[in-house]
Structure 1
Amino acid sequence: MMSGTSMDGVDAVACVFNEKGCQFIARSFEPYSDMLRESLLSLCRSGPDEVVRMQNGANEIAKIYAKAFNKLLTDSGLNYKNIRAIGAHGQTIRHNPQIGASTQLINGALLAELTKTDVITDFRSRDLAAGGEGAPLVPAFHKWVLSGDVPRGILNIGGISNLTILPERGSEDEVLGFDCGPGNVLMDAWIEKVNHVRYDRDAMWARSGKVIPQLLESLKQEKFFSQVPPKSTGRELFNLPWLEARLNGEKPEDVQRTLVSFTAETVTDAIRNFAPHIKELRVCGGGAKNPLMISELALLNPDLLVTTTADLGVDPQDVEGLAFAWLAYRFDRRETGNLPSATGASGSRILGCLYPA
């Protein structure tokens, strides 16, 4: 189960792993209430009584994860006794790899109590302890399930966009993975501020605007984009105040349209700088539902086949949920889950912490 930077809710996926691969069984989604989302967003910055609010938040996250789990069982006809373990990412509220820390809120003990199932969580800490960024963790899963006959990029556009560069199957080249910058986080924050909705469905509002070249260039001057991988980022850097500090009375719809190009261009810059050899770009995450984003990525990368991971047999909305199920599977087998080439850790590590049923 996964709840990402967009903070919209919990994606739950039931699957079976074995030596041959991954068998998908069922999915469910449990949205956050407006109250919970606002509470979690407030914890992304310093404020009063943070410890108690974090404790309450961890408990509430466990409860909504349990609700998503029970819904998944109901929809699939499974019983909790059929489930070997839950891989639970939790909700990131602070990501500070520069000090060796990243906080994902979830009360793993409470989730185990509510579901009567082993819970494996806290996947990032061990990689951070080994000198890594603690992110991105999904490239190892991408390598396992999405490698092909040509080198390809797997682009996850959630709140933050991250890119995995997969060599062709059988190659001894390393897998590269890193955060590119904002995915949907600024677009969602801007439309919520102006139009009081959580996201721009089918990019309809963005389509009504025009790209502002000066603003686009200003946004791209952020120092993060000149850093070399491994690198990761989050709401600590890319947030509404960061955006508003760079605005100067532009039309709101033009800002939204420019933010689509901002994500597409920073991803494209990352490909040109670090993966000019790839032949395909496969998109997953919430951004895969944004037709304007997909068309702009295709326009900016005319030499690449640009489609979603659905063409590889994996629904774009399921990739990250499957990835954390896979990390739980790896932990259960006491096998490593990180890729040092993606996170910068000093070596491969077993990731996670177990809360027995």
Structure 2
Amino acid sequence: MTEPHAHYVGLMSGTSMDAVDGVLVSFFPDRVHLTCTHSMPYPAELREGLLRLVNNQGTPEDLGTADQWVGEVFAQCTNELIAASGIDRKHIAAIGSHGQTLRHHPGGPHPFSLQIGDPNVIAERTGLTTVADFRRRDMAAGGQGAPLVPAFHQWLFQTTAETRAIVNIGGIANITVLPQAPQDTVLGFDTGPGNGLMDAWCQQHWQQPFDEDGRHARAGTLLPQLLHALLSDPYFNAPPPKSTGKEYFNLQWLNQRAPGLHQANPEDIQRTLLELTVASIAKAITDDESIGGVYICGGGARNTMLMKQLTHQLANYRLCSTQDIGLAPEWVEAAAFAWLAMRSLQQAAGNLPTVTGARGPRILGAIYAGASTLSIR
């Protein structure tokens, strides 16, 4: 094996806000080599504060505190990752930090996307060049700023053997369609709620951050009328480019679409929310007759009930994990931001305008120099 030129760190914390995922990777022309991985849960006090901010409960001081604290956690995750890897820092070119999304608002007269986790803190605590703030340049160019991982999916997973769908099931679910013909257009968009609504309902009714293996959903019964009411939301039939977040698909949205839920069996609601995720993902796939293999990544891949129902809905497709095509499902997004950091240092575009709707390719991310790159003249 030829030695790679450099290693990169990728850091990701999704809309579930449960932990920071870190990877140490190196990139070859046709593959990614995963050297080491590390996941660090947020301190309970920080997570509670982040959830309050997402729910519009907090002051500017709370926001500033959370920004610095998330940066500290990201830096600590990086330092522990590097220590576990045994790799010398001088061989690490950069960190790619997605940050923690608090609000994603791509519509209206003043679209924005807000990720916190101060990259100055990360660069200072690790001594490594840090690339962050990936979404806003795409939005400045008229794009949605999301999803950004399809460019990485195209680089790593596209093949002339079949048209592939890569489905990431995080707090929000998204899909990338990689055509068999390399000259054809790559498509991608957020399909709707992934784990986010299920997590919120689980926290509210059982004081658990997520429904492990879909146990509560498995104990419930699908409510067809409720599912129909939820799927009637215009988002599901809106054409791409489109992206969304927990500021849209949340418990307030659920109560507005279906008042009177307090009278229902909580397990039945959980089952119906699971089927909502399944149905919205399945619709995105069955709308494209060219798709052959469907490859799942993200935290939802660990929910056995969700995967069982998705397999049932997509019985005519070959449903697999991204592990089968080169990268374990739990590390795809973190690896994507390591790759986007590399693209930024190379002064190469990181977005796909056909996915985000931007006016053209753009170099994504702001660069915060590490200590090893500085010199005194």
* TM-score in same-fold range (> 0.5): yes
Q: Gapped runs of 5+ residues in structure 1?
A: none
1:104 counterpart letter in structure 2: Q
Instruction: After TM superposition, give the deviation of residue 247 of structure 1 in Å.
Output: 4.5
Instruction: After TM superposition, give the deviation of residue 77 of structure 1 in Å.
Output: 1.2
State the match for 2:171 in structure 1: 159
Q: 1:72 aligns with which of 81, 87, 94?
A: 81
| CA–CA distance in structure 2, aligned partners of residues 171 and 33 of structure 1 | 44
Cα 1:127/1:207, change in 2 over 3 Å: same
Q: 1:236 aligns with which of 247, 257, 267?
A: 247
Q: Gapped runs of 5+ residues in structure 2?
A: 1-10, 371-377
| CA–CA distance in structure 2, aligned partners of residues 270 and 13 of structure 1 | 29
Q: 2:196 aligns with which of 165, 176, 185?
A: 185
Structure 2 counterparts to residues 229-308 of structure 1, below 5 A = 229-245=240-256, 246-248=258-260, 249-273=263-287, 275-308=288-321
Q: Does 1:116 align with 2:99?
A: no
Identify which range, 200-209 or 177-186, moves more after superposition: 200-209
Q: Does 1:314 align with 2:355?
A: no
Instruction: After TM superposition, give the deviation of residue 80 of structure 1 in Å.
Output: 2.4
Q: Does 1:355 align with 2:368?
A: yes
Q: Is contact 1:158-1:286 (8 Å) kept? A: yes
Superposed CA offset, 1:65-98 (max 9, x none): 0111011112211232221100000000011111
| Over 4 Å off, 4+ runs | none
Structure 2 counterparts to residues 87-106 of structure 1, below 5 A = 87-98=96-107, 99-106=110-117
| CA–CA distance in structure 1, aligned partners of residues 122 and 91 of structure 2 | 17
- Give TM-score, length-normalised by structure 2: 0.92
Q: Is contact 2:18-2:47 (8 Å) kept? A: yes
- % same residue: 43
1:90 counterpart letter in structure 2: G
CA RMSD of aligned residues (A): 1.1
Q: Does 1:19 align with 2:32?
A: no
Instruction: After TM superposition, give the deviation of residue 300 of structure 1 in Å.
Output: 1.0
Cα 1:61/1:189, change in 2 over 3 Å: same
Secondary structure, in 3 states, of the residue corresponding to 1:90?
strand
Q: Does 1:81 align with 2:90?
A: yes
Secondary structure, in 3 states, of the residue corresponding to 1:137?
coil
Q: Is contact 1:187-1:256 (8 Å) kept? A: yes
| CA–CA distance in structure 1, aligned partners of residues 116 and 204 of structure 2 | 25
2:176 counterpart letter in structure 1: T
Identify which range, 275-284 or 75-84, moves more after superposition: 75-84
State the match for 1:58 in structure 2: 67
Q: Is contact 1:215-1:247 (8 Å) kept? A: no
Instruction: After TM superposition, give the deviation of residue 46 of structure 1 in Å.
Output: 2.8
